[in-house]
Amino acid sequence: MKLLDNVAIITGAAQGIGKATALKFAREGATVIACDLDAAGVAAVAAECRAGGSTAEGYAVDVTSRDDIETLVRFVCKKYGRIDTLVNNAGITRDARLQKMTEQQFDDVIDVNLRAVFFLSQAVADCMAAIGKGVILNASSIVGIYGNFGQTNYSAAKFGVIGFTKTWSRELGPKGVRVNAIAPGFVETPMIATVPDEVLDKMRSQVPLRRLGRPEEVANLYAFLASDEASYINGAVIEVSGGLVI
């Protein structure tokens, strides 16, 4: 098990990629703190992790609240003595064309997808640096690399996450903390559950592998990057997109 004794905080863990990542980490031996606004959802995910023999807790948290985040980090540090991995997975979309996007749509996405990544990473950095090791994994997107129609807010946030990753890898690397980002393409998650079939077919046709990704395929990369097998990977942005270029 590549993550034995690894204490990991995973946000957005009630469903989709976050849930798959929590379950994957648990199977690899990690102690999982599954976080989400959906308290019932993360409680169920934690129970599923424990059913497989792992230590796991569900924690209801608003990632846009600095107070919530600081309370979470204090709780984990006090109970487990350290934080080995942070997976900044929580994310939302509020799509609209530039001329139609409201300030609220813009702010909501920036708050969850960018500001929360800053809050969480800042909160765990000292804890990781104190033990001389740690891994911060950020959810970017191919939209953050190539842009996408109707996603001014989302692409800006995901591009910003790449900037965070490159900067923090330099700042925290000397302290033994690695920072990397994953840029998923089209993945079968609840986020695209409302997309019409004809649009999904078009999305599949754009991918050289001719299918959407599975949450588990992203989770597998998160687990690898969190492990000692990736001990010399720092500041990387890795696409998991089946070869898609928007």
Question: Would you give the end-to-end CA distance of the chain in angstroms?
Answer: 36
3-state secondary structure 19-77: HHHHHHHHHCCCEEEEEECCHHHHHHHHHHHHHCCCCEEEEECCCCCHHHHHHHHHHHH
Cβ neighbours, 10 Å, residue 118 = 15
Active-site residue identified among 80, 146, 154, 232: 154
Angle between the 39-51 and 16-27 helix axes, to the nearest 10 degrees? 30
* Structure-token match 């708050």, residue found: 111
- Residues with Cβ within 8 Å of 158's Cβ and at least 6 positions away in sequence, in order, are 113, 139, 140, 141, 143, 144, 145, 183
Q: How far apart are CA 162 and CA 141, in angstroms?
A: 9
User: For residue 48, what are the CA distances in angstroms to 19, 54, 58?
Assistant: 10, 9, 11
Concerning whether 154 is annotated as a catalytic residue, the answer is yes
Give the residue numbers annotated as catalytic, written as ranges.
Answer: 154
